[in-house]
Structure 1
Amino acid sequence: MAENEPRIQRRQRVLKGATILTGITNSEVTCTVRNMHSRGAELKVPIDARVPEEFLLYVPTDGVGYRAVVRWRREDRIGVEFTGTEPKPHWHYG
């Protein structure tokens, strides 16, 4: 890890499909998890996506929803910190 790297853990590169569940009228934003570790992830989202500061990130391959808080935004990328987990919401189709 580089000396100027602010992260405590190095993220593992992954390529997982995921859905940002906002809870606002059950809206969803499809995204891709680009890298991830137990405390956070980097997401690739559509450039015009409206992503709130806090949301549930559902990753079907993990079978879990990660409670996430946005820590940074750059064009079509969002860095999030995980604050907990929960089961997939019953209203989500996947």
Structure 2
Amino acid sequence: MTNPANPIPERSDEHKREHRQRVLKGGTIITGISNSEVGCTLRNQNDSGAELKIPPEARIPDRFLLYVPVDGIGYRCEVRWRRNGRIGVQFTGTEPKPRTHYG
């Protein structure tokens, strides 16, 4: 369907994911629970989110800070899905390097 004010057709699949570029980066999930940290690996990433590989025994909250040393940025994250030792997250903002992290 086309809107006369906007000549570009609307997409029927509003939930189509933005392509994520494959990466292999180390990261640290900082949960805020007694400065608890969990190591993880970023498998793919784009401006709005990432897929993380986490240890199978890790208990990750729905919201956390993900620090990626090679980026020098802390990404505020919300979990969107969980599957077999992997989680998909949406970035909701950024922060400078956390003071409590030594990496």
TM over 0.5: yes
Structure 2 alignment gaps of length 5 or more: 1-12
Structure 1 alignment gaps of length 5 or more: none
Q: CA deviation at 1:91?
A: 1.1
Name whichever structure is richer in strand by fraction.
1
For residues 34 and 78 of structure 1, what CA distance do their matches in structure 2 show? Answer: 10
Would you say how many aligned residue pairs link Structure 1 and Structure 2? 90
In structure 2, the residue corresponding to 1:18 is in which secondary structure?
Answer: strand
Q: Which runs of 4+ in 1 moved over 3 A?
A: none
Percent identity among equivalent residues? 68
For residues 87 and 23 of structure 1, what CA distance do their matches in structure 2 show? Answer: 16
Q: Which has the higher contact order (CA 8 A, sep 6+)?
A: 1
Tell me which structure has the larger Cα radius of gyration: 2
Determine which of 66, 84, 87 is the counterpart of 2:93: 84
Q: Tell me the C-alpha RMSD between the 2 structures.
A: 1.2
Q: Provide TM-score, normalisation by structure 1.
A: 0.92
Structure 2 equivalent of residue 54 of structure 1: 63
Q: Provide TM-score, normalisation by structure 2.
A: 0.84
